[in-house]
Structure 1
Amino acid sequence: MHTVMPECDTRPNASSALLAGRNVDSVIKGAALGRIGNLEVRLARNEAEIAAAQEVRYRVFYDELGARKELFQAHDRRDADRFDPLCDHLLVFDTSLSGPEHRRIVGTYRLLRQEIAAAAGGFYSEGEFELTQLIARHPGQRFLELGRSCVLPEYRSKRTIEALWQGIWAYINHYEIGVMTGCASFHGTVPAAHAEAFTYLAHHCRTNSAWDVRAVSGRYCSMDLMPIEAVNAKAAIAAMPPLVKGYLRVGARIGDGCVIDREFSTVDVFVVMPVKEIGARYVNYYGGEAQRFAA
């Protein structure tokens, strides 16, 4: 996923709001899917907005976190790949900013549905993890890959991540998504630097056999890196990226093994979130139709 998200608690609070009456038009036509104060979330409507989201991604992944482009691509200050035209791009706008809408984008998520991925040769994450058997075990489910999520530094707050989740929930309801998946990233290219967090995940957060996924052959790195009795659970959780902690709170599980991504200078783990296993309080909060507008 190569994600940078706020260091915050993703549990719902009374100050957040969902838009009532979500329907087909609101998703397809790019109407607002959620609002919290001056933040509004919706899908990209045009190429200018997608390009602006790619610029936001570049600022975070390349300028801030040190991802590396090929020399011939370095002049293009956008993070773009072959999957972008296939995906829906979920965007958070700061409506208090002046200027054209595409210059108000402060956060983004990339969404790739199973039927689109299948027609185009697979999901992005299949370059790192074996998904074929997972998908085959659940023929009645619709899979959605979440990726490329990031938020500009000055907007890394609970409000922004809740706005993104409002949009995600509207999207999965509209498309009847059964499973959310994707890669989540730890900074750096040395798995041992995350030994305590990885060992904790390997022992306490692994997928069960029905949802198990393994890193691809040749790229697999073990996550079981130290004796489990030496792991301090509180320290292990504290060392995890905010996005990983947020996924775990809503009931996500982690696949077998991690993968080094040298282009983005990350170590990636695979996240599986069956929608039916997401905690009831999150379903009620993000999926409800109550009109709870924030000031």
Structure 2
Amino acid sequence: MRYRVRHAETEADLALALGLRAARFRAGGDDRDRFDGICTHVLIDDAEGPACTFRLLPLADGGEVGRSYAAQHYDLKALERFDAPMLELGRFCTRGGEANADLLRVAWGELARIVDETGAGMLFGCSSFAGTEAAAHADALALLAERHQAPARWRPLRRATEVLRLPRRKPDPRSAMKAMPPLLRTYTAMGGWVSDHAVVDRDLGTLHVFTGLEIGSIPPARARALRGLAMS
């Protein structure tokens, strides 16, 4: 098999995950934070070693959403009413910064397995664009504003100091999809939605949008395909 999925069980495993994260978010520096100790860390290996990592924080329901990483940057009070388990997906990154289709399928297969195992009703997190200049992502952000806005009942409000409203203009769809981070592209293809603003994260050198995916809203054919990946 080209890829092998495993969970970090030792400090050495966690160090491998942190190494991928440091290369993506910290120019080689330390990316450990206070959330690492309460998360499950997933590693996807290939013949060269870790090719992808992400972490997951399980929450009993929306009443615990204030414990999440995203709650530092967004006012998530509306989500406190969500009455099913939730999973926060964070720090998704790959070796070299590129995620091919096979690697993404493996990652989503593992996510589907964990969603079913935990009974999660929503997957959420911060989806990041590289760099803090909005102009570089203008079409992608405009497409999110036009087609993928959060429903009013769950809409995240502003908490961070430096934010920008998603541009309200006609995007170039081809340019937008090319610039869209692969993970976010998959979220939206399954019915995911985003906040009406992006947070400028100078610490990580990114722009990010809050992203939510209600598991029950995933098209049935896509849900079956994901469960098939989880079993393969």
TM-score (norm 1): 0.71
Aligned residues with identical type, % of pairs: 28
In structure 2, the residue matched to 1:151 is 94
State which of 150, 155, 162 in structure 2 corresponds to 1:212.
155
Kindly provide the amino acid, as one letter, of the partner of residue 39 in structure 2. Answer: C
- For residue 92 of structure 1, report the CA deviation from its aligned partner: 0.5
Distance 2:138 2:185 in 1: 16
Residues 48-100 of structure 1: CA distance to partner in whole angstroms, max 9, x if unpaired? Answer: 21121101211222338xxxxxxxxxxxx442101000100011022x45xxx
Matched to 2:192, the amino acid is A
Determine the C-alpha separation between the residues in 2 that align with 1:50 and 1:146. Answer: 16
AA in 2 matched with 1:227 = R
Distance 2:103 2:231 in 1: 18
1:5-20 paired onto structure 2 within 5 Å: none
The CA distance in 1 between the partners of 2:78 and 2:231, in whole Å, is 41
Structure 1 residues 218 and 155, CA, compared in 2 at 3 Å: closer, same or farther? closer
- Residue identity in the other structure for 1:254: V
Aligned pair partner of 2:133 in 185, 190, 205: 190
Cα distance in 1 between the residues matched to 2:137 and 2:94: 23
2-side partners of 1:289 and 1:263: how far apart?
A: 35
Match of 2:165 among 222, 225, 240: 222
Question: What amino acid is aligned across from residue 20 of structure 2 in structure 1?
Answer: V
CA distance in structure 2 between the partners assigned to 1:116 and 1:110 by the alignment: 18
Letter in 1 for 2:24: V
Q: Is the 8 A contact 2:140 2:179 kept in 1?
A: yes
State which of 42, 46, 54 in structure 2 corresponds to 1:109. Answer: 54
Moved more, 178-187 or 148-157: 148-157
Q: Contact 1:181–1:270 at 8 Å: present in 2 too?
A: yes
Where in structure 1 do 4 or more consecutive aligned residues deviate above 3 Å? 115-121, 217-220, 288-292
Find the aligned partners of 1:218 and 1:276 in 2 and give their Cα distance: 33
8 Å CA contact 1:191–1:223 kept in 2: the answer is no
Compared CA separation, residues 192 and 169, structure 1 to 2 (3 A): same
The question of whether the paired residues in 2 share the 8 Å contact of 1:114 and 1:144 is answered with yes
- Within the candidate set 120, 132, 139, 2:77 is matched to 132
* Letter in structure 1 aligned against 2:155: D
Whichever of the two has the greater Rg, that structure is 1
Q: 1:290 to 1:158 in 2, by over 3 A?
A: closer
TM-fit CA distance, 1:121: 5.9
Unaligned runs of 5+ in 2: none
Match in the other structure for 2:216: 276
Looking at structure 1, the residues matched to 180 and 98 of structure 2 have their Cα atoms a distance apart, in angstroms, of 20
Question: Unpaired runs of 5+ in structure 1?
Answer: 1-36, 65-76, 98-103
Paired residues, number: 232
The DSSP-based 3-state class of the residue aligned with 2:196 is coil
SS in structure 1 of the partner of residue 142 of structure 2: helix
282-291 vs 172-181, greater mean Cα deviation: 282-291
| SS of equivalent to 2:204 | coil
Q: Deviations over 1:226-275 (max 9, x none)?
A: 533xx222222222222221211122111121110001111111111000
SS in 2 for 1:186: strand
Q: Which moved more, 1:104-113 or 1:208-217?
A: 208-217
> Which amino acid in the other structure matches residue 133 of structure 1?
A
> What's 2:200 paired with?
260
Give the superposed CA RMSD: 2.5
1:114-156 CA distance string (max 9 Å, x none): 14997796110111111122122x2x21111101011112873
Q: Secondary structure at the match of 1:257?
A: strand
